Chain A
Amino acid sequence: MKQPILEVRKLQKSFGGLRALDGINLDIHEGEVVGLIGPNGAGKTALLNTVTGFYRATGGTILFQNQDITHRPMHEIGRLGIGRTFQNIRLFRRMTVLENALVAFRPFADHPLRSLIAYRERRMAIARAMHWLELLQLADKVDRIASSLSYGDARRLEIARALVGEPSLLLLDEPAAGMNENETRRLVDDIAIVRRHVRAIVLIEHDMDLIRSLSDRLVAMDYGRKIVEGASAEVLNHPEVLKAYLGTDTEETVS
């Protein structure tokens, strides 16, 4: 089997006495969309935050495309090609839609001083940003202030912004949270398009329909550990997973 893009090995993250990640292992392979599920507090977002360098791992290693990124600062991890969105939408609210996307344009982000005189690249930047904004159906809203966007549009802009940075691995933290049924359906279509442009996607989600229709593989977490891993149907019906979600023995809750 080919070398995975992302290899998480025995990763640990503790906050004082609380073990948010308790020696978790995870492989993400080329072309995969992996769904990460688990009850609240299972450590899903902690895993994303540790992989992207926002949390400092207290143990274990993270290899991304064969490079050890365990203790690298966040912006370097971003430069290596890991992009992400956030559980609570985090746009630059005072900027326009176009500006939000442009912030991620790598030549400027990597060489901020040179961006002062890089006039030719400014057109290129706008073209790149427009490309992703069109893909996510935001082209007619480019001059709107980000804080005025609808919930679904804001979510899509966050994904577009991450894509302008041209990541090879995209981490989506509950992209459908707070969306209505229509918006969720649209999001499924969008992510289906997006997956053709990145090497792999990791998706945290509570919406089981979305998880089922998008993920090639599911990883269920609880107490900072991986409890089950495999095909969607298999994982979703696994007694350990049901137990983690329902909090009691499965026999008592079978209806």
Chain B
Amino acid sequence: MISDQLFFTGINVLLAWSVYIGLVTGSLSFAQGAFMAFGCYGAGVLTVKFGWPLLPACLVSAILSAMIAAVLGYPALRLRGVYLILVTIGITFCARVALENIDYVGGVGGFGGMRGADLNAVIVAVLIVGAFLLWFSFSPLQRICDAVREDDRVASSLAINVTFIRLLGFSAGAAIAAIAGALYGHYMNFVRPESFDVLLSIYVVLYVVLGGTNNMLGPLIGATLMTLLPEYFRVLAEWRPTVFGLAILAMLLFRPLGLLAFRLVTAHASVSAPRKSGSL
């Protein structure tokens, strides 16, 4: 039981990070359910129908998912704000309907036979993705993404290709969501298109909003708390959506930037140089 809970926590952390990496470039995506489904079914086909081992299947489905995100994102990311949100919700709906109509992967009935993922696999994935995000957090690329997120017009006047940066964030998010999907499917052994409902995409965004959108720890905390807490308040199980909604409202009122709102600074002036203090 406890390992189930930890496994789902890990999956949700990965999904929260996949939303976060898009948000870093200023795009809020509700399409993570679709990319998760793609990763799950893509890797599942490779392992079940072609007998691939899980790891390469996982990586290939992540890469394909990123490529699909790039193709979808090129027109979609021209939209901003609420229009982009609607388009990404649309992507999640379309993915589900498409999967329900592909008999090769079982259609509405679902797709089974995937196995091989366990708690260790998801821990390794969380560690690798987390280490990458931490490395990214202190890089010039993080700064460039922040610039795009804060004021895309100024960023492009400073020679930054805003379209490319946004596609990068969206595709990286899709890849991470696909890995989460692949691990999820190979742990559950059996999935159905409705497992990747739009509600899942919404929950994942809420983890990030609760945890904080300014650093990579926020989504980690948000996803962990919101996955584990309901387990320890079993009485509240039926009230989960209500409690969730109230938590969001309380956050928006009292901590609109999330639990962990700080932003990491990406560069400091050289420490060895004599620091001038006060005004000259």
Contact = CB atoms under 8 A, between A and B. Distances in A.
A168 to B, nearest CB: 13
A38 interface: no
Contacts of B162: 75
A120 B163 CA distance: 27
A223 interface: no
Contacts of B2: none
Contact of A115 (B139, B146, B277): B139
Interface in A57-104: 73-75, 78-79, 83-84, 86, 90, 92-96, 98-99, 102-104
Contacts of A130: 269
Contacts of A52: 157
B136 interface: yes
A74 B267 CA distance: 26
B98 interface: no
Nearest to A97: B269
A221 to B, nearest CB: 22
Report which residue of B155, B161, B162, B263 has the largest number of chain A beta carbons within 10 angstroms of its beta carbon. Answer: B161
A51 to B, nearest CB: 11
Give the contact-size bracket for chain B: 35 or more
B276 A139 contact: yes
A121 to B, nearest CB: 8
Contacts of B141: 108, 112-113, 115-116
B81 interface: no
Nearest to B275: A140
Given A96-B265, A116-B141, A125-B140, A73 B154 contact: no
Contact of B159 (A75, A92, A94, A143): A75
A162 B155 CA distance: 11
Contacts of B144: 103, 108-109, 112, 115
B168 A115 contact: no
Nearest to A105: B140
Nearest to B164: A112
A108 B265 CA distance: 17
Interface in A121-161: 122-123, 125-126, 130, 137, 139-140, 142-143, 161
A113 B164 CA distance: 10
Contacts of A123: 270
A122 B140 contact: yes
Contacts of A78: 156-160
A204 B34 CA distance: 49
B151 A92 contact: yes
A95 B168 CA distance: 21
A10 interface: no
Contact of B156 (A74, A83, A142): A74
B102 interface: no
B147 A92 contact: yes
Given A92-B150, A112-B168, A74 B157 contact: yes
A208 interface: no
B165 interface: yes
A199 interface: no
A204 to B, nearest CB: 15
A140 B140 contact: no
A165 interface: yes
Contacts of A140: 276-280
Given A102-B267, A103-B143, A140-B279, A94 B150 contact: yes
Nearest to A53: B156
Contact of A165 (B140, B158, B161): B158
Report which residue of A78, A90, A112, A115 has the largest number of chain B beta carbons within 10 angstroms of its beta carbon. Answer: A112
A116 B168 contact: no
9 nearest A-B residue pairs (beta carbon)? A78-B159, A74-B156, A115-B140, A108-B140, A109-B159, A104-B158, A75-B156, A103-B147, A79-B159
15 contacts: A74-B153, A78-B156, A78-B159, A90-B151, A95-B146, A99-B146, A105-B140, A109-B159, A109-B160, A112-B140, A112-B165, A113-B168, A116-B135, A116-B139, A125-B267
Given A75-B160, A75-B162, A116-B135, 11 more contacts: A86-B154, A93-B150, A95-B146, A95-B265, A102-B267, A103-B143, A108-B141, A109-B158, A112-B161, A116-B141, A161-B158
Interface of B: 135-136, 139-141, 143-144, 146-147, 150-151, 153-162, 164-165, 168, 263, 265-270, 276-280
